[in-house]
Chains A and B, each alone.
Chain A
Amino acid sequence: MRRPLLLSLPLALTLSFAGANTLLASPYFGEDSNIVISSKTERYSFEEGEKDHPVIVREESKTQYYCSELRASIPWVETYDGQSRIDGVKVYVNGSRDKSIQPKDEYYSSGDIFYSDARVYYFSLPFARKGTSDEVDLEKTTLDPRYFTTVYFTEEQLVRQKTVEIVVPKWMHVDIKEMNFAGYSITKAHQNDDRKGVDIYTYTMSNLAPFKTEQNSPGPTYVYPHLFILSKYAEPKTGKQQYFNELKDQYAWYRSLVRQVNNDAAVMKAKAAEITKGLTGDLDKVKAIYQWVQENVRYIAFENGMAGFRPEPAQDVLRKKYGDCKGMANLTKNLLTGLGFDARLCWIGTDHIAYDYSTPSLAVDNHMICALNYKGKLYFLDATESYIGFGQYAQRIQGRQVLIENGDSYLLQRIPVTGCEQNEVHSQYDLQLSGSTLSGQVSHVWKGENKEDLLFQANAVHKNKLQESLLEFLSRGNQNYVITGVKQEGLDNRNTDLFFQYKLVYNNAATVFDNDIYVDPDFRKEFGEADIDTTIRHKDYLFDCKGDWITETNIVLPAGYKVQDMPTGLDVQRKGYSFTISYKLEGSTLKYRKAIFIKDVHLARSGFAQWNTDVAQLKKSYLQQITLTRK
C-alpha cells in the first residue's frame, strides 16, 4: 500500500470533500457528456504587487457551460491556500447574473491528508434543462510566482473551445514549457506588445477530453496537456526578486527554511544512544535507528503553507511520535547525526511527477527522505515506507533524482534502481499425491515491496486475529487447504525476508475419475485475472512495483501411476515482462515451475492488446491439468 505524500498536483484534481465529491468521478468521451464547457478563456498576468508580495500572478477566467442532454447540476470548485486568494466569482445562470448562488468557503480535507491549509470555494451550478448555458467568471491571485507552477488545459468537463493567455512583462523572466501537447490540436501564438511592455503567449485548443481518474495511472503531469511555468527572477520597479533561476536558487530557498528549524542535538544524541544500546556495528546502529523510526513514528500528512516545506523540529516529532515525511526524514537524520554519522536531508519527486531538477520548481518534488553518506556510499532512508528494509527502495523513488543537502551547496544524485529480484515472491511446494490429497511441506518467501505490503496488512490486523488472518491468506480461504506447524520469520524484522513454512494437507486437490487422476499444480495463479478492459481504461498502467513470482511445485507420483498428459508449458518474453511455465518429469517426481517477471512497471496503452493476449495465454495455461493414469 502506498503511503500518502505531500503532493504538488493541481489542487482541483485532488478534491474529495462532501460538497464536490462527484468532481473526481469525471466523465470521459461517450460516458457522460451532458454538461460541457462550450468555451473558456483564461488569462494569467504577472503584475507588480505590493510590499509583502512584490510580484503576483492575476488570473481571470470566463467559463461557459452548456447543458446538452437533460437538466442537472454540477459542483463548481476552486481551491486556494495561504499563497493565493480568490478575488471574486460571478455566476450567470442561463444568461442572467444569479446572486442567490453563494459559494461556500471551507477547509479542504482529503482522506490522505491529516490537515491542510488549502481551502475550497464551491457551489452547485444548476442547469434547468437541455440547451441552457451558464457562465462562471473567476478572479484569483497567486501571491508568489514560485507557487504558480502549472496551467492545465484539461477540465472536469469536455471542453469544446479554450484559450489560455499568459501575459509576461518584460521585467519578468519566465520559461514556459509545453507539456504533453502531442496528440492534441493546440495552437500557439506569441505577441510582442512593446507599448505595454509585455509578451503575450496565447494557446488555443478544442475538443479536450475531461480529466479522468483511473487506478494505477501515471500522474497528471505525464498525461494531460499543460504549461509548466518556471519563474526565474523578476526585476520590477521595487527591485530584483530572485526565484528559481537555477537549481542552486531552489536549493538555497529550501535550505533557508531548513535552517530555521531548531533541532535539539542533545535530545537526539541521548535518544539515539538509547535506541542503539548494545550494538557495535555501524550499519547495525543505522538499521536500528531506521527501524525505530519506522516502528514508532506514525505517518500523518500535514500540508500547511510555508510549513508545508519546512520540517518540524526533530525533537517535536520524537515527542509526538507522529509526523509527515519531512518530520520523519528530519528525525531520522538527527538521530543518525547524534551518533556521529554523516546524514542529510534530501528532497525528491516520486514517480508520480514527470519533472526533475533540470527544471527548478516547487512542482518537481513532493517528498523528503534522509541520506546517509557512509564510507563513500550513499544510502537512502525513507521512514514513511513503514516496513521496507535498509538498502531497499520503493518503486516510486527508484531512479529518481534526489537533491541532497551539502552545506551551502547541494548534491544531485539518483536513487539506485533495483531489479525485480528485490521484490521476489517464491513459493516452494514439496508434496506427495495420495488419492485426491496432496500433502507435504510448503515454504513461501516474500521480499522487498511485496514483503512490505504483507507486513503492512498484517500489522493492520488485530493481533488476536493475526494467526487466523495469516492462515486465511495462505490458504486463500480454502477449507480443503489445511495448514499445520507454521514457522515464520520476518514478521517483526524489516531487514530480513518474510518467510513461512508449514505442513500442508490439501484435500480434494486432485480429481480422481476411475483410473485417472487430474492434478492442478498451481494454487495461487498470480496475474491470472490481470487482463485490462480496454473499453474503459484510457491511460497507461503502472504496476505497484517490479517483481518476480516464482512457484515450484514438486509432486511425487503415487505408486502405480504414470504421467499420461503433461501440458506444454508457456514461454512469453516481452521487454517489460515475461511469463514462463514448464513441466518436467524427473524419475517419479513431477516438477512444475512458473516464473512471472514484471521488469518494467510502466505498461503503455499501446501495449494493452499484447498484454491481454499474453494474460489470456497465461490463464489458459493455468486452466491446464496434469493427467496421471494407472500403469
Chain B
Amino acid sequence: MNCSLRTCLLITLVGISGMTASGQADVTKYKERAAAVRQEVWGWRDPAFTNKTVPAKFTGESCVIMARKALIEADSKRRMDWALASHRNFYYNSTVREMVKINDKASLEEYSQLSYHQFKKLNGWMSGTTTTFVGARIIKPDGSVKEVNTDETVTLNDTKTSRQSKLAISDLQIGDMLDYYVRTEEYSQDYKEPERLIFYFGDDHPIVDFALHCEIGSKYTVQYSSMNKAPEAKQSTNDDKDVILDIGMKDIPSAPTGFWMSSIRELPAFRLNVMGGGSKPVKDIPLTDIFNTMTYYIGLVDGPAQFAAIRSQMVDMMRGADHDYKKLSDDSVARLAYYVYRFIRYYNKVDNALEVGQDRNNTDINDYYYLVTLQTALKHFGVKSTFVAVPYKHGPDIGHIMSVGDMLLVLRVDVDKPFYVANLNMFTCPGYILASVEGQPCPEIHPKSFNHGEVVGLNVKMPLSSAEENQQQENLQVNLNGADMQVLHVKRHTVLKGKMKESEQLRLLNFEDCYESERNMLHVEKSIMDELKKARKSRNVSEDYATALQKARESLKDRFKEEISSEFEKDPKDVLAWKVDNPGLRSAAPDLVYSTEFTVDGLMQRAGNNFILNIGKVVNSPLKLTPSQRTRNVDIYMSYARTLDCTVSFLIPEGYTVQGMDKLNKTLENGCGSVVTSAKIQGNQLIVHFRRQYKHDQEPAASWPQMLAIIDASTDFADQKVLLKKG
C-alpha cells in the first residue's frame, strides 16, 4: 500500500503510543512549544525548500511534491522519581515537512486541511503522551510568503486522554505552493513502543527531492534496510554517539498503477525500525534475529498449559469420531486431531454477542496461540510437526524481513507425506496453502535449538498452486422466464476449487450449517443448543441463540444476491433459490459447491420477431481497463493462477433457430494463459463453453502485452451475441 507520507504519518499519529504526562491540554505551554517548533522548522537550511522550479518533466501534473523531508530524532534520559526509583524516559520526535505545488482543484482539496491529534495519551499500562504541532505557509506565484494562522485550528474532540483538531489552510489557491510540517513529540516512560516505518520512493504525485535524516540515541536500537533499488542509507555517528542515518532520492516520478501491483515488491523503499534497547545499529536484519523473536513468541504461548485445558475434551471427541483412532495412520490421526481442534476452537462456543451471522465467519484467532496449542495436541497424539515461517507473496521478500509481522507462522505436519496447516479461518482444511504465502520460502523454526543461528530449509518453498487447481466452474442452465422473452431464468451450479473458494466461504457459508456438519462428522452428540437448554442459567440464552440463528439464516438470501450481482455485474431480478451443496471444510471434499436460481433481464434484446441474446455477458463479466492501464512497465502481481470454466446451456425456445454461433468459436493461447470459447447446438440447447486461464500468479512486465491479449479476448467475448430467429 502506497499512501502519501503525509497520510501515513497522520495515520501513525493516531496510533502512536506516548509516555506519561497529564493528558489535559495546557494551552499556553502548547503554544509556546508550537512557536519554538515553528521557528526551528522554518529555520532549516535545506536547499530543497528554496527550489521553486518545477522540473519540465513534471509540468502537467496535478500536484508536484517539491520537497519532502522526514526527520527522526530519538533520545532518552535516566531520572529518579519521588520514591528514588530509577526510570528511563524515552523521547521520540518525528517531523515531516513537505512543500507541494498545487496545480488543480483536486489537489487543492487534498491539501486544504490537516487533521491531527494535538494530544494523545498512551493506552493501557504504558504511560506517556504524544503531542503534535503543525505549521503551514503559502508561497504565492509572485514569491510572497504568507504564514497560515494555526490559531484558526478547531477542536473536534477534547477528552482527558486526547484532543483532536483540524486546521483549514487559509488563502490556498491553485498555483500556490504549500509548505507545511507535522511534528510529533512522544514521551514514554520505561518502555518505547517499537516504531516500524516504511518510506516509499514513490507516491501518487511526483517528488522532486525526498530526504530522510535520523538521529537516534545510543539507548535505542535501530534496524534498517533499503529495498527494490532504493539508495543505501549513509550511517555515521556524532559526538554524542547517536546513530545518524541519511538517505535521499531526487526526481521520483509518480508511482505506477495500483492495479495488480505490489508496492513493497516494486517501489524503491526504505524500512526503519526504532525501538528501545541500546544495541548496535543493524543493516538488513539477519533472519536469525527474526526467528529468535518468533521462537520467543512461541514460548510465550505455553502450549502444554493451553492443551491441558482442552485435552480431555479432545480425547473424548477423537474417540467419539473414531473409537480406534490410535490404530489409524499418522496422517489420519493428524487430520482427525486437526478437525477436532478446529471444532473446539472455532465452532463449539457461544460468544457474548451471540454472533452467528456473516461476522462469525470472520472470527480471528491469534496464529501463535492456535498453532502452538495444536502442535502440542499433535504431539500428544504421537504426531510430529515443525514450525515454518513464510514471507507473504505481496509483502517483503525473504531477504528483507524486518519484523515478525512480515512472516506467517505455519505448521508442517511431519507424516509420510508432510502437509501444512495454517490458521486462515474456521473453514481452513489441513493441507490448504494460503494464497498469500504460496510459492514462498518456508524455513523452519526450531525453538529449542535456535541459538546456533542457523536457518534451516531456506531453499524449501511452499507449494505453488496451478491454474488447474484454482478453478471456478460454472454450469448455467438458462431458459426464458415464461411468456416474457426478455427475462432469463437461470439455474446455476458453481464449484470453487483451490484458492477460489477463500472469499466466498466467508460470504456464503452459514455458521449453523457448518457447525452441524462438523458436529455430525465428529459424532458429537450434544450441540451448543442442548447445552444451553440444559443449564438453568443459560436457558434464557438458548432462546436468544435460536433467534440469532434464525436471523443469520434469513440474511443468506441477501448474501447470495450480492454474490450473483458481483459475478454478473448486474442485480438479479429475483433470487428464487440458493443452497450450499458442499462447504469445503474437509480435505477429502475441499471444494465449495453451491447452487443458485434467479431471473435476470437486460441480456435479451428484441429485433422484430427475432431476439438477440448477449450470450457473452451471461458467461462472463470481464475486467475493464482504463486507457492508461493498458500501458505498463511494472511486474504483474495477481493473487494466484486460476481458471474460469463456464458452460451455458440455453434452451432454444420453440419456433426459433440460433444464428451467429461461428463467432463464438475462438482460441487464444500464449505464455500467460488462454481464452478458449466454443458453441454448438445439442438437441434444443445452445451449449456455449468459455474457458479462461491465467497460468501464473505473477508475470514480468514484459509479458503485459500477452496479459492484455487475454483480457481483450475476454472483453471481446462478453460483447458476443447470438440471434434467435423465428421460423
Verify that A and B bind, or say they do not.
Answer: yes
Binding site for B on A (CB under 8 A): 69-71, 104, 106-107, 109, 114-115, 129-131, 296, 298, 300, 319-322, 459-465, 468, 471-472, 477, 479-480, 508, 511, 513-514, 516, 518, 520, 564-565, 567, 619-620, 623-627
Inter-chain CA distance A26–B605, complex, in Å, is: 40
Does B172 interact with chain A (Cβ within 8 Å)? yes
Inter-chain CA distance A463–B551, complex, in Å, is: 48
Min CB gap B630→A, angstroms: 9
Does B626 interact with chain A (Cβ within 8 Å)? yes
Known contacts A322-B170, A472-B626, A513-B659; A463/B723 CB under 8 A: no
Inter-chain CA distance A511–B611, complex, in Å, is: 12
In order of increasing CB-CB distance, the 5 nearest A-B pairs are A565-B608, A462-B62, A70-B544, A320-B170, A463-B104
Are A464 and B155 closer than 8 Å at their CB atoms?
Answer: no
Min CB gap A65→B, angstroms: 16
Are B60 and A463 closer than 8 Å at their CB atoms?
Answer: yes
Contact with A along B343-375 (1 / 0, CB 8 A): 000000000111000000000000000000000
Q: Can you report 18 A-B residue pairs in the complex whose CB atoms are below 8 A from each other?
A: A70-B354, A70-B545, A71-B541, A115-B166, A129-B543, A130-B543, A298-B109, A300-B113, A460-B109, A463-B106, A464-B61, A464-B62, A472-B627, A511-B721, A513-B659, A514-B659, A564-B608, A624-B607
Other-chain contact of A468, B61, B541, B627, B725 (Cβ < 8 Å): B627
Q: Which secondary structure dominates chain A's binding surface?
A: mixed
Nearest residue (CB) in A for B486 is A623
Known contacts A321-B171, A624-B606; A129/B544 CB under 8 A: yes
Are B544 and A69 closer than 8 Å at their CB atoms?
Answer: yes
Are B106 and A109 closer than 8 Å at their CB atoms?
Answer: no
CB neighbours (8 Å) of A627 from chain B are: 607-608, 610
Are B486 and A620 closer than 8 Å at their CB atoms?
Answer: yes
Are B171 and A319 closer than 8 Å at their CB atoms?
Answer: yes
B residues 220-247 in Cβ contact with A at 8 Å: none
Nearest residue (CB) in B for A455 is B105
Does B660 interact with chain A (Cβ within 8 Å)? yes
CB neighbours (8 Å) of A71 from chain B are: 352-354, 541, 544
Known contacts A619-B602, A623-B606; A130/B60 CB under 8 A: no
Residue among A320, A511, A518, A627 having the largest count of chain B Cβ atoms under 10 Å: A511
CB neighbours (8 Å) of B456 from chain A are: none
Other-chain contact of A115, B60, B104, B154, B352 (Cβ < 8 Å): B154
Inter-chain CA distance A511–B659, complex, in Å, is: 11
Known contacts A114-B166, A322-B112; A129/B540 CB under 8 A: yes
Inter-chain CA distance A537–B619, complex, in Å, is: 32
Contact with A along B152-179 (1 / 0, CB 8 A): 1011111100000010101111000000
CB neighbours (8 Å) of A468 from chain B are: 626-628
Inter-chain CA distance A619–B602, complex, in Å, is: 8
CB neighbours (8 Å) of B61 from chain A are: 462-464
Other-chain contact of A320, B60, B168, B540, B723 (Cβ < 8 Å): B168
Nearest residue (CB) in B for A302 is B154
Inter-chain CA distance A70–B354, complex, in Å, is: 9
Are B112 and A298 closer than 8 Å at their CB atoms?
Answer: yes
Min CB gap A565→B, angstroms: 3
Residue among A479, A565, A619 having the largest count of chain B Cβ atoms under 10 Å: A479
Are B105 and A465 closer than 8 Å at their CB atoms?
Answer: no
CB neighbours (8 Å) of A320 from chain B are: 152, 168, 170-171
Inter-chain CA distance A477–B625, complex, in Å, is: 8
Inter-chain CA distance A109–B628, complex, in Å, is: 38
Are A130 and B156 closer than 8 Å at their CB atoms?
Answer: no
Are B601 and A619 closer than 8 Å at their CB atoms?
Answer: yes
Nearest residue (CB) in B for A300 is B168
Inter-chain CA distance A564–B726, complex, in Å, is: 14
CB neighbours (8 Å) of A620 from chain B are: 486, 606
Min CB gap A292→B, angstroms: 11
B residues 674-727 in Cβ contact with A at 8 Å: 712, 715, 719, 721, 723, 725
B residues 583-605 in Cβ contact with A at 8 Å: 601-602, 604-605
Min CB gap A481→B, angstroms: 11
Inter-chain CA distance A567–B606, complex, in Å, is: 9
Known contacts A70-B544, A462-B107; A321/B157 CB under 8 A: no
Contact with A along B612-644 (1 / 0, CB 8 A): 100000000000111110000000000000000
Other-chain contact of A625, B109, B547, B601, B607 (Cβ < 8 Å): B607
Are B544 and A130 closer than 8 Å at their CB atoms?
Answer: yes
CB neighbours (8 Å) of A70 from chain B are: 354, 543-545, 547-548, 551
Are A625 and B626 closer than 8 Å at their CB atoms?
Answer: no
Are A130 and B547 closer than 8 Å at their CB atoms?
Answer: yes
CB neighbours (8 Å) of A300 from chain B are: 113, 168
Nearest residue (CB) in A for B603 is A623
Min CB gap A515→B, angstroms: 11
CB neighbours (8 Å) of B626 from chain A are: 468, 472, 477
Min CB gap A483→B, angstroms: 10
Other-chain contact of A459, B106, B159, B712 (Cβ < 8 Å): B106
